[in-house]
Amino acid sequence: MQTIIWDVDDVLNHLTREWFKGYWLKNNLNCKVAFANIDQIPPHEIFHISREKYLETLDEFRIKHGAALQPDTEVLEWFRAYGHQFRHAVLTATPRFYAPCSAQWVFKHFGDWIRTYHFVPSKRADDDFPCYNANKAGFLRTLGNVDIFIDDNESHINDAKKDGIRTLLFPQPWNSNSSESVVDFLKKITV
């Protein structure tokens, strides 16, 4: 069986879209940016705020609404139809404080298929703990036995490609695969 490593936020769920609608637009009524125009992650420069302020708002949204995020419907349907044909694990970059909530969300919605959860801490200013891997590619090298790595962040994908891992860039407005439908993207896995 092949092993697929999945990112969580903006792949299994719609974190950035929900943050944009449920936090940013509600608190910035004059915002003229559409979700489709978020062409970089993190998007702080688009909104003319610091990276730290963006992360602060994202963390606030995660704490209040993260558990209620719904899975991507098309991804969940793919798991129901084809998930049994692969082994699945998660590798996400999330703040250390939020990893338990993220793991619970994954197992609640995808636990029939995903059996392991891994994270590389998304650094915050007050973090004071050891860093074992600077990025996801470093962790993937440690993990080994990865057949497919799926992420929406092009830099994570490019780093993993350097190690010869088959990668698939999940379609989002901020990456070069933005025009592909999720359904067409998911077909690539089973080919």
In tens digits, the chain (191 residues) has pLDDT values of 999 999 999 999 999 999 999 999 999 999 999 999 999 999 999 999 999 999 999 999 999 999 999 999 999 999 999 999 999 999 999 998 899 999 999 999 999 999 999 999 888 878 787 778 778 998 998 888 899 999 999 999 999 999 999 999 999 999 999 999 999 999 999 87
In this predicted structure, what is the pLDDT of residue 78? 98
pTM of the model: 0.94
Beta bridge partners of 151: 169
Helix (H), strand (E) counts: the chain: 8, 5
User: What is the distance of C-alpha 168 from the center of its chain?
Assistant: 13
In this predicted structure, what is the pLDDT of residue 109? 98
- The Cα 79–Cα 74 span in angstroms is 9
In this predicted structure, what is the pLDDT of residue 123? 81
In this predicted structure, what is the pLDDT of residue 143? 87
Residue 47 CB coordination number (10 Å): 17
Sequence-distant (6+) residues with CB within 8 A of 56 are none
User: Is-cis flag, bond preceding 42, omega within 30?
Assistant: yes
Q: Is 64 exposed, middle or buried (0-12, 13-18, 19+ CB in 10 A)?
A: exposed
Name the token pair of 133: 């891997």
Instruction: Count how many residues are written for the chain.
Output: 191
Sequence-distant (6+) residues with CB within 8 A of 126 are none
